Structure 1
Amino acid sequence: MTKQVKLSDFDVSETTGFVATKPPLRKLPGEYFSSWEDTCTKIPALIENKELRAKIDALPERQFNKETLESEEEWKRAYVLLTFLSQSYIWAEGEAGVIDTLPKKLAVPWYAVSEHLAMKPVATYASVILYNYSLRDPKGGMTADNLVAVSTFTGTKDESWFYMVHVLVELAAVSGLKAIEGAFEAMKMQKNEKLKNELQKIEKAIDNMRKTLQNMYNKCDAEVYYCKVRHFLSGAQGNPAFPNGVIYEGVDNKPHFYNGGSAAQSSSIPSFDALLGAKHPGPEKDPTFMRKMREYQPRKHRDFLVAIDTQPSLREYIKKSQNSELIKKYNSALESLIKFRRSHMRLIDIYIIEQSRKCRATEATGTHGTSVDPGKDETAVGIPVKALAFTGAGGTPVETFLKQVKDSTESIKIPLPVF
């Protein structure tokens, strides 16, 4: 007998979903971490002045002591902190100066913290989004105007907005996540009217996620994201800039090929995929990509997906019911998922594909920017990383991959019965 799926068993909040109900720590307490925190707040300026690596190299060599982290909130802040310090160290001098060996003073604690949290030592959706939000007004709500990133690589409003829109998308998913509980309960009790209501809630939640995602265009300039932010989120997997992987000095001195931060590491859309029975093959060069992304999610969130997987199939239940109204509700929920993916594809087209094409078109002129705005200060925009052209930060060829995911979602719609 399968165990009932309950959000509370998996650190999934009924008010904020996969986002913590209480804002993450902004700063680790104590002298031990003060030099890390101080350096992290200065990352944008240190990169701009080409002083970041020298600053980190000058930090005192100390043996990492796990006992200095007392709560899970502190472990999560340490994970965020070391992610920003390490990823900025790797990319501080752009593509031409990228390094593939992370110094021991960063590698050892980052690896240890990641191991404790069952995460990967690389930029992840959790480290830059789920564990990295704050409220401008602590007494205010989790709204677009009140959310702000704790740490950034560039200090730009664009980068903070990029992260916080994803937080808002997670919040928009909450009613749908709660409906997953209700859907399994309705199926178990064979209450088809209740099941139709739960599917309608899921459809509405995914529609709200799609509409919320559109806010990205408001305050995140595509050129700034492509040229200044994106490479800091990337890993070695699928990245020509790291043909030999990345070595974590003092850990095992072997090359590691981790995927970078990806929206596929969010647990919200994968939860709806799992419920509705949508299974997606990965890109040709990485066919297990979607399944592998679960390894980059917080431990209890990936356990939530496994719990959904082990439940009786919702799709098979509805298909066998031959209930036309129930099938229509199921297909409508799937259609909302398809619309979300089309919207995501359009976003990727603007923020990655179009920018990649413009870079290719301007290479012959000897300029570095994408020429979206000829009057824009190139130093404010940054120089794009050619190795990541047409590729997501997670290391996949995004255009073909996302279309493949959309198509596989469309393929599982249930035909209406013919009587």
Structure 2
Amino acid sequence: MAALPPNHFLALPRPDVHFTPAVGTPDTSTLAAHDFDVDTRTGFMPPQPPLARLPAEWESWEATLDDGLASKLQLSDRADVSAEDRAKTERWRSHVRNLPIISIAGLKSSELLLRRAHHVLAWVMHLFVHTTPQSETTINIPPPITVPLLQVSAQLQLPPVLTYSDDVLYNWAYKTPPENPFLTAPALDNLRCLTLFTGTRDEEEFYLTSARIELRGVEALSIMRSIMDEAFVGDTIALRRITTYLGALAGVIAELSQILGTLRQGCDPHIFYNDIRPWFKGADSDTRGRKWVFEGIERDPTLEQPAELSGPSAGQSTLVHALDIFLGVDRYSHSLFSTHGAARSTATLGAASGTPAVPFLTRMQSYMPRHHRTFLRHLAGSPRPLRALVENAGNAPLRAAYDGAVKALKEFRDEHVRIVALYILVPSKREGKEGGPKGTGGTDAFQFVKGVRDQTAGALLGEGR
């Protein structure tokens, strides 16, 4: 495991999440501050490959995951599971139930160890959940997984479920180690995944497409930082520079759309829908509405049954949220609350229920690493927001450049709509499933991403607006 500088915030003693405040004061003077865990080379991806294995004390977790993946366990809702496969699955599930409950005390001093522990335990839990026989009316997660996973999740302030950070941000390694890994960003074609449910290239490309978007998005973060610096000056020269920077930002976002489109080349929609996607569904995507019960919680009085558990989703990408917030379109794009019918606005749902609704994309921020959530709050709290500056400047080229960046973001979402249609909507219709197909985050996938795309388009200023 690569050593961190002694003054790096991830190397500082971790606070007890229940009793003591955080150590140190975050440096929030720059969008690349280490206290946000944002790197100038890799953005929201870690600057070095994530830890690939826990120390010996927690080897039983690693070995259990290895065994589950090597056994090619079959999803319990498949009709073609053989008796031999069922017996093999039950042997593995019995092994999980009989694991010892291992203390996480030795993990608390290291953010990197905790991340790996969350990754391994959440992956084991999803294997266990999605091999639960269909005859069982609830999904009971045994104490050897429940207790350490909930404890690790509390330390990280993450839900006890697979998240985007588990299958994208902290799920990569180099194919070939570079000569100077501390000086250069990872090459987009030199990445591989650490963990895969199916072991297929299709699944690996699904995760790596998002990883490549994150890495290419580093330039967008740099441009955003430059724009914020110029916004503090705000004179004629600064506005001219912001106009140029916004053109560059639109170009980077267009490249993100192109990378998203490459998913078609490496991931087959049929394989994704039937063989990959079911493994990382969350509790709110269970087709039978079965409750996930975390057994053994009474062993630790600080633990509680989770109220909701969505699976990993592109909506958990801090990069995309950062673009929304920076361009000031989040009040449009984040206003939708997904339901079992169509996507509806927060205002509509709030009026209907009498209580404030939490938009889906806002809710997804609780599934992000906590330092990245802090980054978004810092970005949203800028005293000189870009959109207000553009609206008040009376500068036609600046306004056009701003709309160009918003249009590029809208076109990124056009591509996302096409991907969801190809990978979720079409396969679900081919299988004759009723109702709107749900995404792994629990949303009615197609209607929701289409609604977010349309709302983003509504943020365009236009010439006379």
TM-score range for the pair, normalised by the shorter chain length: 0.7 to 0.9
Contact 2:437 2:445 in 1 (8 A): yes
For the pair 1:72 / 2:111, whether they are aligned, the reply is yes
What amino acid maps onto 2:142 in structure 1? P
For the pair 1:328 / 2:405, whether they are aligned, the reply is no
Contact 1:173 1:209 in 2 (8 A): yes
SS in 1 for 2:192: strand
Contact 2:338 2:359 in 1 (8 A): no
For the pair 1:283 / 2:337, whether they are aligned, the reply is yes
Pairwise CA distance, 1:98: 8.2
Distance 2:289 2:308 in 1: 8
Alignment of 1:19-58 (within 5 A): 19-30=45-56, 32-46=57-71, 47-48=73-74, 49-50=85-86, 51-58=88-95
When residues 95 and 347 of structure 1 are mapped into structure 2, their CA distance, relative to the original with a 3 A threshold, is: farther
Contact 1:91 1:97 in 2 (8 A): no
Q: Normalising by the residue count of structure 1, what TM-score does the alignment of the two structures yield?
A: 0.87
**Residue 380 of structure 1: aligned partner:** none
Out of 119, 136, 140, which is 1:101 matched to? Answer: 140
Contact 1:207 1:340 in 2 (8 A): yes
When residues 156 and 134 of structure 1 are mapped into structure 2, their CA distance, relative to the original with a 3 A threshold, is: same
**Residue 383 of structure 1: aligned partner:** none
When residues 126 and 387 of structure 1 are mapped into structure 2, their CA distance, relative to the original with a 3 A threshold, is: farther
**Residue 358 of structure 1: aligned partner:** 430
Structure 1 unaligned blocks of 5 or more: 361-385
Tell me how large the CA RMSD over aligned residues is: 2.3
Pairwise CA distance, 1:134: 1.1
For the pair 1:192 / 2:223, whether they are aligned, the reply is no
% identical equivalent positions: 27
Contact 1:5 1:184 in 2 (8 A): no
For the pair 1:162 / 2:206, whether they are aligned, the reply is yes
**Residue 420 of structure 2: aligned partner:** 348
Pairwise CA distance, 1:337: 0.1
Alignment of 1:114-153 (within 5 A): 114-139=153-178, 142-153=186-197
What amino acid maps onto 2:227 in structure 1? A
Q: Normalising by the residue count of structure 2, what TM-score does the alignment of the two structures yield?
A: 0.79
Pairwise CA distance, 1:185: 1.2
Mean CA deviation greater in 261-270 or 92-101: 92-101
Contact 1:246 1:256 in 2 (8 A): no
What amino acid maps onto 2:95 in structure 1? A
Pairwise CA distance, 1:4: 4.3
What amino acid maps onto 1:25 in structure 2? L
Pairwise CA distance, 1:293: 0.6
Out of 277, 280, 304, which is 1:230 matched to? Answer: 277
**Residue 352 of structure 2: aligned partner:** none
Pairwise CA distance, 1:94: 7.1
Contact 1:84 1:152 in 2 (8 A): no
**Residue 296 of structure 2: aligned partner:** 250
Pairwise CA distance, 1:192: 0.5
Contact 1:239 1:388 in 2 (8 A): no
Mean CA deviation greater in 315-324 or 195-204: 195-204
Distance 1:289 1:240 in 2: 19
Contact 2:437 2:446 in 1 (8 A): yes
Alignment of 1:266-277 (within 5 A): 266-277=317-328
Distance 1:333 1:166 in 2: 20
Distance 1:155 1:77 in 2: 19
Contact 2:171 2:193 in 1 (8 A): yes
Pairwise CA distance, 1:287: 5.0
Contact 1:342 1:406 in 2 (8 A): yes
Q: Deviations over 1:41-95 (max 9, x none)?
A: 2323431434345324325543332233242211111111011100010002576
Contact 1:352 1:389 in 2 (8 A): no
What amino acid maps onto 1:63 in structure 2? I
Contact 1:75 1:117 in 2 (8 A): yes
**Residue 365 of structure 1: aligned partner:** none
Distance 2:44 2:371 in 1: 10
**Residue 6 of structure 1: aligned partner:** 31
**Residue 306 of structure 1: aligned partner:** 377
SS in 1 for 2:198: coil
SS in 1 for 2:283: coil
What amino acid maps onto 2:446 in structure 1? E
Out of 448, 455, 460, which is 1:408 matched to? Answer: 455
SS in 1 for 2:173: strand
Contact 2:285 2:439 in 1 (8 A): no
Contact 1:52 1:89 in 2 (8 A): no
Distance 2:453 2:211 in 1: 23
When residues 417 and 110 of structure 1 are mapped into structure 2, their CA distance, relative to the original with a 3 A threshold, is: same
Pairwise CA distance, 1:196: 1.5
Contact 1:123 1:233 in 2 (8 A): yes
Contact 1:233 1:260 in 2 (8 A): yes
Distance 1:95 1:56 in 2: 14
Structure 2 unaligned blocks of 5 or more: 1-27, 75-84, 180-184, 298-302, 340-356
When residues 148 and 347 of structure 1 are mapped into structure 2, their CA distance, relative to the original with a 3 A threshold, is: same
Contact 2:203 2:272 in 1 (8 A): yes
Mean CA deviation greater in 221-230 or 68-77: 68-77
Distance 1:94 1:250 in 2: 21
Pairwise CA distance, 1:5: 4.0
SS in 1 for 2:336: coil
**Residue 363 of structure 2: aligned partner:** 292
What amino acid maps onto 1:320 in structure 2? N
